[in-house]
Structure 1
Amino acid sequence: MANKFGLVYAGAITDNFPGKVNLKPVTYRNKDGIKMVANLYLPANYSKDKTYAAVVVAHPNGGVKEQVSGLFAQKLAEAGYISLAYDAAYQGGSEGMPRQTDLPANREEDIHASLDFLLSVDGVDPQRVGALGICGGGGYTLQTAKSDKRIKAVVTISMFNTGRVRRNGFKDADMANIQKRLIAASEAREKFVTTGEVEYIGQLLTHRTHFTQEELEKIPAGLYRDGVQYYGDTHYHPNAQSRYTTMSLLGLMTFDVENQADLLNQPLLMMTGDISDTRYMTDDFFKKATGTEDKQLIYIKGANHIETYWKPEFVKEEAKNLLEFFDKKLGA
């Protein structure tokens, strides 16, 4: 991979230079002893003797720190923040077996553990720590912020309520088969316990590939078609896998970030594309987030879900909005 750090987003830093934003690969362990891997972004002229606001950044479902979460972590560091983009446990470069396990409790612990680490970094002011979550990472960030009040301000981009979608189907279009999915998940767990064999859902991206227009047109337009292009072609990274274990549904299908949304009392900014097919998830959570009066909902005009990850004009607008928000709420 051409970039020294494996970064695949536009404008990524290529090396560490004195006086510039620097990237430091780091590792730490969560409460279960699983080793997490992350990239710590340090602002220009960083000094351990100064104090800084800091933000932990959670990646989308199937994503890794070298993609969109790294992009926004770098944007934050360029604005003077210390930021951390990590790989979820069981995914990316982090440890954990079976691979691509996606349980909400694990994803929440990822954020708790990443906060533990971030707060240990020299210069981080514990009263000025925020959290940014993108897509599925947005849902898990909201869930974590309900209880972890070390998070002083929360931002999401294109929030994806993973539990609702895994339970009801995308756009709540497959509720008739909820019990079938639960049976399949239960059977997958039994198979794993008795044979060690792991069943997966979703297409595994094993190598970089280019998709023809004919191939793309076979995939429903919107989130899924755009996602195939982003993860499988334009922003491919070998550690990013779209699959997840079938038995993960046992945890996913009983999870819904909208439940007890009122527990979130921190300042909240949610952004989503105004024409995105996932917009309903942001809209619905925002309405239920009655625990905070300090909340903003911004629609990115003309943006679809995946486009908010990379399209320059959308990224510029999102970065402007989140920096203004964090500057105000974290006193940066």
Structure 2
Amino acid sequence: MLMISKIIRTFIMSTICMATSIIASAQNKTDNPFGLVYKDAINENIQGKVNIHPVNYYLNGIKIAANVYTPANYDPSKSYPAVVIAHPNGGVKEQVAGLYAQRLAELGYITIAADASYQGASGGEPRNVDKPANRIEDIRGMADYITQYAGVNAEKLGLLGVCGGGGYSLAAAQTDKRFKAVATLSMFNSGLVRRNGFMDSQLSTIQERLKQASDARAQEAAGGEVLYTANAKTTDEQADKMPFDLYREGHYYYNRTHAHPNSTFRYTTSSLLDLMAFDTSTNMALINQPLLMMAGSKADTYYMTEDAFSKATGTTEKELYLIPGATHIQTYYVVEYVNQAMDKLSVFFSKFL
């Protein structure tokens, strides 16, 4: 166990949550006019089919880049349910969030996926600030925008969060009751992992890392260089030696098969001051909305979903669904597992929206 902990620490310190600094290269350039990198993504807007609409709006002075997906034969004079989709840590709207946004639009929902503030194509300086309060506010901001979109029935608003976006979606839904139904896929409790390490592998270094974060903030305040965590580039050989599926498969998803130039897992070291004090499961009892939490049956992150779900005592409508045979990352793109997740989402949202 000690040896595994050392291996984990080595990789997590340089590659936290599949971390890498993705550099635009031949492997991650996309020919899709909308920048989408998922399978069967929309290449052009065709009348009578699902369409995608790149939009911008301002949230607390920061310009947000988002994609709105409208159903086939969308008529702005009609009334549609809507779903907000929050992307994983380090991910962008063109990856798994976009995939599920498109698939839900195919079912008749107006959906929105936005890049988090300070990340992706959204504004905010310094780049890659990653604070829970920002991510939660981003979700609320998507709700602000989409409920004013032509044709959206604001009383039928759902929320879907993936990975880190799932943890922040739970936190947002605890207080924001505009969301009438809440779903997560492969939920990742960012604060818990940043504090304790994946599977509690970094408990012995909590104070050390808090000191590093404090020093980084002091350096920023003095006008010095902004320091980043998870700013290393990972090779395939290094990834293959990672002890957990999450990191190993995440490397290939984000750096190879579904790479996007705007996606990077680096974040300002000073962000840890906020991240390490956060835990999405703290106020789970405040969720009184219908709740669906999905995870792969083989996901090594499942313990986070299980913990949060057990604390959701404020709702009488909740379901925990395990996708047979799936790991965490496989729920992002493997057709068989995506279809199973979509089948559950279809029933869930049609019932409660």
Identity of aligned residues (%): 55
> 1:204·1:242 contact (CA, 8 Å) conserved in 2?
no
Shift in Å, 1:204: 5.1
Report the secondary structure of 2:319's partner residue: strand
- Aligned with 1:304 (options 285, 303, 327): 327
Q: CA RMSD in A?
A: 1.1
Whether 1:197 aligns to 2:191 is no
Of residues 136, 153, 156, the one that matches 1:125 is 153
Structure 2 counterpart of 1:43 = 71
How far apart are 1:218 and its partner, in Å? 2.6
User: In the alignment, residue 296 of structure 1 is paired with which amino acid?
Assistant: E
2:304 is equivalent to residue 281 of structure 1: yes
In structure 1, runs of 5+ residues without a counterpart are none
CA separation in 1, counterparts of 2:310 and 2:57? Answer: 36
Structure-1 residue corresponding to 2:129:
101
TM-score (norm. length: structure 2): 0.90
SS state of the match for residue 195, structure 1? coil
Name the amino acid aligned to 1:24.
H
Q: Which residue of 1 aligns with 2:36?
A: 7
Per-residue CA deviations over 1:99-143 (Å, capped at 9, x if unaligned) read: 111100000110111100001101111110000000000000000
| Aligned twin of 2:242 | 219
Q: Kindly provide the amino acid, as one letter, of the partner of residue 283 in structure 1.
A: E
Deviations 1:164-199 (A, max 9, x none): 000111011211211111111000000111133111
Distance 2:281 2:48 in 1: 43
Alignment: residue pair count: 324
Q: Which residue of 1 aligns with 2:336?
A: 313
Tell me, what secondary structure is at the counterpart of 1:38? strand
CA distance in 2, matches of 1:236, 1:311: 16
CA-CA distance at 1:253 after TM superposition: 0.6
1:17 counterpart residue number: 46
In structure 1, the partner of 2:13 is none
Tell me the distance in 2 between the aligned counterparts of 1:53 and 1:196.
Answer: 47
Match of residue 243 from structure 1: 266
The amino acid across from 2:112 in the alignment is L
The CA deviation at 1:221 is 3.4
Query: Using the alignment, how far apart are the partners of 2:232 and 2:37 within structure 1?
Result: 19
Which has the higher relative contact order, 1 or 2, with Cα contacts under 8 A spaced 6 or more apart?
A: 2
CA–CA distance in structure 1, aligned partners of residues 45 and 232 of structure 2: 33
Name the SS of the counterpart of 1:155 in structure 2: strand
Q: Which residue of 2 aligns with 1:27?
A: 56
Whole-angstrom CA distance in 2 between matches of 1:260 and 1:118: 26
How far apart, in 2, do the equivalents of 1:323 and 1:87 lie?
A: 24
Structure 1: distance between partners of 2:173 and 2:244: 33
Q: Which contiguous aligned blocks of 4+ residues in structure 1 show a shift greater than 4 angstroms? A: none
**1:204–1:241 CA contact under 8 A, matched in 2:** no
Deviates more, 1:181-190 or 1:191-200: 191-200
Contact 2:244–2:300 (Cα < 8 Å) also in 1: no
Q: Is this contact kept in 1: 2:132–2:278, CA < 8 A?
A: yes
Partners of 2:230 and 2:145 lie apart in 1 by: 32
Distance 1:216 1:250 in 2: 28
- Which amino acid is the alignment partner of residue 44 of structure 1? A
Structure 2 gaps, min length 5: 1-29
| One of 192, 213, 218 as aligned partner of 1:164 | 192
The 1-side partners of 2:202 and 2:244 are apart by 18
Q: Secondary structure at the match of 1:132?
A: strand
- Counterpart of 1:217, as a letter, is D
Q: Which residue of structure 2 lines up, in the alignment, with residue 173 of structure 1?
A: 201
Taking the aligned partners of 1:162 and 1:328, their CA distance within structure 2 comes to: 30
User: Residue 215 and residue 249 in structure 1: after superposition, are their counterparts in 2 closer, same or farther (change >3 A)?
Assistant: closer
Q: Distance in 2 between matches of 1:321 and 1:294?
A: 14
Residue aligning to 1:144: 172
